[in-house]
C-alpha cells in the first residue's frame, strides 16, 4: 500500500493506513455473498505528515463522527464490485477530507445595509400599512 499524497507538503504515510476487506451489503445475489469487495480503510490521524495545528484541528472537527474507539479515521467504500476500485475510492475520500481541512474558513466581515436598501425596506412597510388601512371600515381608523 502506497502513501496518500494530498499536496506536495501533506501526505499520509503507508504505515498509517490499515485496509480491510469485508463482504458488501445490498443486492448482488450469489456474488455478494462470496467475495469481500467492501473496503474498510482506517487512517491514524496523528501520523499525517505536513499538517499544521489549525488544519489538524479542522480535520478532527470534520471527521469527529467517523472516528473509531482508537481515534482512527474510518472510511468505507462499496461503490463498485471490485476491491481495487473500492480501495481507490476510499483513498480518494480520505484525500478529499484532508484537502477540505487545509482550507482555512473565511472570516466574516461585519457589513451594514446600504441607504437604498433601508429606504426600500421602509417604503415596503409603508405600502403594506396602506393596504391594511384600506381594508378597514371607514370609521375604524383615525
Long-range contacts made by residues 97-100, C-beta under 8 angstroms, separation at least 24? 97/59, 97/62, 97/63, 97/73, 98/4, 98/6, 98/10, 98/12, 98/48, 98/51, 98/59, 99/6, 99/7, 100/62
User: Can you give the residue range of the structural domain that contains 98?
Assistant: 4-102
Question: Cell for 21?
Answer: 476487506
For residue 29, the model assigns a pLDDT of: 74
Asked if residue 55 belongs to a domain, the reply is yes
For residue 28, the model assigns a pLDDT of: 72
- Which residues does 11 contact at the CB level (< 8 Å), separation at least 6? 3, 4, 5, 48, 49, 50
CA distances from 17 to 73, 90, 112, 121, 133 (A): 10, 11, 49, 57, 71
CB 98 within 8 A of CB 56: no
Q: What's the domain count of the chain?
A: 1
Residue 73: give its domain's CATH number: 3.30.160.20
**CA–CA dist 23, 39 (Å, integer):** 9
39 forms beta bridges with 21, 77
Q: What is the mean pLDDT of each run of 10 residues along the chain (142 residues)?
A: 88 92 81 85 92 92 92 92 92 94 92 96 97 85 58
Asked if residue 126 belongs to a domain, the reply is no
Asked if residue 30 belongs to a domain, the reply is yes
For residue 2, the model assigns a pLDDT of: 87
Q: Is the whole model's pTM more than 0.85, yes or no? A: no
Phi, psi of 65 (to 5 degrees): -80, -5
Amino acid at each position: 500500500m502506497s502513501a496518500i499524497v494530498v499536496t506536495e507538503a501533506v501526505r499520509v504515510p503507508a504505515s498509517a493506513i490499515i485496509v480491510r476487506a469485508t463482504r458488501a451489503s445490498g443486492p448482488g445475489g450469489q456474488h455478494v455473498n462470496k467475495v469481500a469487495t467492501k473496503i474498510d480503510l482506517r487512517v491514524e490521524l496523528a501520523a499525517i505528515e505536513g499538517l499544521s495545528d489549525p488544519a489538524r484541528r479542522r480535520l478532527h472537527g470534520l471527521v469527529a463522527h467517523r472516528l473509531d474507539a482508537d481515534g482512527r479515521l474510518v472510511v468505507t467504500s462499496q461503490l463498485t464490485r471490485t476491491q481495487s476500485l473500492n480501495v481507490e475510492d476510499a483513498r480518494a475520500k480520505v484525500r478529499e477530507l484532508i484537502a477540505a481541512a487545509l482550507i482555512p474558513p473565511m472570516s466574516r466581515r461585519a457589513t451594514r445595509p446600504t441607504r437604498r436598501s433601508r429606504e426600500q425596506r421602509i417604503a415596503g412597510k409603508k405600502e403594506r400599512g396602506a393596504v391594511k388601512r384600506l381594508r378597514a371600515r371607514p370609521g375604524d381608523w383615525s
